Chains A and B, each alone.
Chain A
Amino acid sequence: MDAVAHFFQSIPVDLLIIQTVNGVVTGMILALVASGLTLIFGIMDVVNFAHGELFMLGAYVGVLVLTATGSFWIALVLSALIVALLGAAIQVATLRPLLGRDSLNTILATFGISLILQNYALWQFGPVARKIGEPITSHFNLFYLTYPWYRILIALLSAAIIGGFWLFLKYGKYGVWIRATTQDRVMAQAMGIPVPMVYTAVFAIGAAMAAASGVLFAPLVSVNHTMGLDWVLKAFIVVVIGGMGNLGGSIGAAIFISLLEAYAAIWVDPSQAVIVSFVVLILTLLFRPTGLFVPTPK
């Protein structure tokens, strides 16, 4: 008992709070990436391996627009719009013809798209990482740290985008179409809902969310052609833990995983803290294969 008590006493409270804030901030970005992924899977049954590259392209378009206009916020909005259009074009050109085929086809197709986009970025922008400056540079004191307000803003903006999207799904005319299509594609068509259009729109929305998170996150890291890889991997973990296609579950899982990693980083090197996510993933697959937030079907 003494050892346990000693262990808990040894955890510095300030560090714990700092890591909680860090975990929530990363969790919200991850939630934004994962929402797009889970949306595309839930509605179209497409496992989108190119999602990380849409995130990466979003960041690059952000860099270009920022250079041209000087405004981070214009860069954020334009990048989301441009990548949404690109996403729509990709869906129409590569995924729409595969509709109704085995999901292996779409996995291969999106994997191919991811390779093309990654190498295009390398060819176009070169191997040297680009940088986006933080749009607001003020800090506040968090114990011994000066913590950037921008990180808090990221979390709030991500929450706002996800919240806005949720409201659209719940109350918008097209939101009802998307939910109806998710539940019964055939019946949705028989009710006059243009399902192929809904698919394209959903892919575009998912792409826009990935791009927005790419731009929002770019000031914290450097923009390079492989930056999508880490994120898509984590987003996949989140989507599985949250329950494939379950939007609320993905958000919960994103914050849960990010908090766990942030806490683990108190004791181990941050690069090793990732292991925690994989452990949770394996445990989820073993004991609750439908996801932590979905009741296991009986």
Chain B
Amino acid sequence: MNQTAPRTEPIVLVEDVHTYYGKSHILHGVTLHVQPGEVVGLLGRNGVGKSTTLKTIMGLVRPSHGSVLLDGNAISGLPPHKLARLGIGYVPEDRRIFRLLTVMENLRTGLDRNGVTEERKAGLLDKAFTYFPVLAERRNQAGGTLSGGEQQMLAIARAMMLEPKIILLDEPTEGLMPRMVSQIRQIIDVLHREGVAILLVEQNVPLTLEASERVYIMEKGLVRHHCAASEIKVDDPVIRQHLGV
């Protein structure tokens, strides 16, 4: 992984972003970037603004100051559905499966876009079912009846249907059994091999350091530390200082 080599224009560039929820100031000027095809980890304690950073990129929260660029174009202010079409996939923390829709219908929400031929749709479904055979078995089952791990797989597969350039993954392993965690880890690698960039928010430090090329560590709404994942260890003082593990 040659994460230190100079790269082309970043796929996502977040610059000095400030975000408020009502009166509470959540992000105090976050700056970060993700290169095409790169896996970037975003670490930090609960409530430091990691999920808000993802929501801001996805257009679900509007920054009061600062800019978000996708492929060099300013996107802050665009509605989320346009950003999804422009190539941002979002896998939220609580998965947010459409519970009453079947697995297949959940996937169709991302597939039924203009300009996608039936052939390409079939190809995308094939790929999802190859990575997640359990979803193929349960394709006609309501999303709400799946287990937590299966719902996580569905959430990732659903985002993949958009053929995104970058996927924002918010705590994908939260509350999952160890077996499921390693499966999610493999999926991150697969997406990486396919050239999809990933911005990964995680509490699981070892997994994040393993899967990512670079990591950002956030504290109180700001990025406090930024380095190549290979430069720090799980028991590094930096990790201990900012994450308390």
Residue from B81, B96, B112, B162 within 8 A of A176 (CB atoms)? B112
Contact B84 A191 (CB under 8 A): yes
Closest chain B CB from A97 CB (angstroms): 15
Closest chain B CB from A184 CB (angstroms): 5
Q: How many residues of A contact B (CB 8 A)?
A: 18
Cα distance A187–B80 when bound, in Å? 9
The segment from B69-77, B98-106, B129-137, B205-213 that touches chain A is B98-106
Contact B109 A188 (CB under 8 A): yes
Contact B162 A192 (CB under 8 A): yes
Q: Is A183 an interface residue (CB 8 A)?
A: yes
Contact flag A190-B98 (CB < 8 Å), given A176-B105, A195-B81: no
Contact B60 A176 (CB under 8 A): no
Contact B113 A192 (CB under 8 A): yes
Contact B113 A190 (CB under 8 A): no
Contact flag A192-B84 (CB < 8 Å), given A176-B112, A177-B109, A180-B109: yes
Cα distance A191–B79 when bound, in Å? 12
Q: Is A122 an interface residue (CB 8 A)?
A: no
Scoring B58, B60, B96 by chain A CB atoms within 10 A of each residue's CB, the highest score goes to B96
Cα distance A194–B84 when bound, in Å? 10
Residues on B with C-beta less than 8 A from A173 are 108, 112
Contact flag A190-B99 (CB < 8 Å), given A176-B105, A177-B112: no
Contact B99 A183 (CB under 8 A): yes
Residues on A with C-beta less than 8 A from B60 are 186, 189-190
Contact A189 B96 (CB under 8 A): no
Closest chain B CB from A100 CB (angstroms): 12
Contact B96 A184 (CB under 8 A): yes
Q: Is A193 an interface residue (CB 8 A)?
A: yes
Residues on A with C-beta less than 8 A from B85 are 192
Q: Is A288 an interface residue (CB 8 A)?
A: no
Residues on A with C-beta less than 8 A from B162 are 191-192
Q: Is B110 an interface residue (CB 8 A)?
A: yes
Residue from A179, A184, A189 within 8 A of B84 (CB atoms)? A189
Specify the chain B residue showing the minimal Cβ separation from A179: B101
Sort chain B's interface into a size bin: 20 to 34
Specify the chain B residue showing the minimal Cβ separation from A172: B112
Specify the chain B residue showing the minimal Cβ separation from A174: B112
Closest chain A CB from B140 CB (angstroms): 13
Contact B109 A183 (CB under 8 A): no
Q: Is B92 an interface residue (CB 8 A)?
A: yes
Contact B81 A189 (CB under 8 A): yes
Residues on B with C-beta less than 8 A from A180 are 98, 101, 105, 109
Contact flag A187-B101 (CB < 8 Å), given A176-B108, A176-B109, A193-B109: no
Contact A183 B101 (CB under 8 A): yes
Cα distance A179–B109 when bound, in Å? 10
Scoring A176, A180, A191, A193 by chain B CB atoms within 10 A of each residue's CB, the highest score goes to A191
Contact A187 B96 (CB under 8 A): yes
Residue from B98, B100, B108, B112 within 8 A of A187 (CB atoms)? B98
Cα distance A174–B98 when bound, in Å? 15
Residues on B with C-beta less than 8 A from A196 are 79
Residues on A with C-beta less than 8 A from B80 are 186, 189-190
Closest chain A CB from B91 CB (angstroms): 9
Specify the chain B residue showing the minimal Cβ separation from A186: B60
Cα distance A277–B82 when bound, in Å? 46
Contact B98 A183 (CB under 8 A): yes
Residues on A with C-beta less than 8 A from B158 are 191
Q: Is B216 an interface residue (CB 8 A)?
A: no
Contact B81 A183 (CB under 8 A): no
Specify the chain A residue showing the minimal Cβ separation from B92: A187
Residues on B with C-beta less than 8 A from A186 are 60, 80, 96
Closest chain B CB from A187 CB (angstroms): 4
Residues on B with C-beta less than 8 A from A187 are 92, 96, 98
Residues on B with C-beta less than 8 A from A190 are 58, 60, 80-81, 84, 90, 92
Cα distance A193–B110 when bound, in Å? 8
Scoring A173, A186, A187, A195 by chain B CB atoms within 10 A of each residue's CB, the highest score goes to A187
Closest chain B CB from A295 CB (angstroms): 14
Closest chain A CB from B177 CB (angstroms): 24
Cα distance A177–B114 when bound, in Å? 13
Sampled A-B contacts (28; CB under 8 Å)? A173-B108, A173-B112, A176-B101, A176-B108, A179-B98, A179-B101, A179-B105, A180-B98, A180-B101, A183-B99, A183-B100, A184-B98, A186-B60, A187-B98, A188-B109, A189-B84, A190-B60, A190-B81, A190-B84, A190-B92, A191-B158, A192-B109, A192-B110, A192-B162, A193-B109, A194-B79, A194-B81, A196-B79
Chain A residues proximal to chain B, CB less than 8 Å: 173, 176-177, 179-180, 183-184, 186-196
Chain B residues proximal to chain A, CB less than 8 Å: 58, 60, 79-81, 84-85, 90, 92, 96, 98-101, 105, 108-110, 112-113, 158, 162
Q: 3 tightest A-B contacts by CB?
A: A192-B84, A189-B80, A187-B96
